[in-house]
Amino acid sequence: MSKFTACARSIDGSLRHAVDVNGRHFLVTDLPSSLGGANAGPAPHELLAATFASCVSTMVVFYGQSRNLNLDGVTVDVHYDADVTPRHFETTVRLPAGLNRRETESLRRVVETCPVRRALGAGFTFRERLLVNDRALAA
């Protein structure tokens, strides 16, 4: 079973946050200026489209490398509409010329194996805890 962690901390009490991902990687999020942030990084909700696009791209290239396919220049564009229910992703995968039909069909199936896509499609459950001085608040 795979488990992942992320820890976000406000930078100097601002809307900018340092995010530690699995204790190995760090990124910064912020809100746009129009919402009071400094626009110093992507807004947290923007990362969902980025996560999905990078997952699809990674899966396509990973598969291609295992089959010695030349996939230089692969790009994945994701448009995410958070204003509709259910939420909507539109994904465009641009592959380089020179692939045969069997290869492109295999890559189409690979796109559908992206772990982020599978997680989003499976649904989620949530459990939150609020702590003050490392003590749980009474319910």
Q: Which domain holds residue 80?
A: 44-123
Can you give the pLDDT at residue 139? 63
Q: Are 80 and 73 in contact (CB under 8 A)?
A: no
* In-domain check, residue 67: yes
* In-domain check, residue 138: no
Strand order across the beta sheet in which 17-21 lies: 6-10, 17-21, 25-29
Same domain, yes or no: 15 and 60: no
How many domains is the chain built from? Answer: 2
* CA 52/CA 93 separation, integer angstroms: 12
pTM, full prediction: 0.86
Q: Are 9 and 22 in contact (CB under 8 A)?
A: no
Same domain, yes or no: 50 and 34: no
Same domain, yes or no: 4 and 60: no
Same domain, yes or no: 64 and 87: yes
* In-domain check, residue 100: yes
Continuous segment of H or E residues that includes residue 132:
strand 131-132
Same domain, yes or no: 48 and 36: no
Same domain, yes or no: 22 and 38: yes
pLDDT tens, the chain, 139 aa long: 578 999 999 999 999 999 999 999 999 999 999 999 999 999 999 999 999 999 999 999 999 999 999 999 999 999 999 999 999 999 999 999 999 999 999 999 999 999 999 999 998 899 888 889 888 877 6
Same domain, yes or no: 12 and 67: no
Same domain, yes or no: 89 and 77: yes
Q: Which residues pair with 9 in a beta bridge?
A: 18
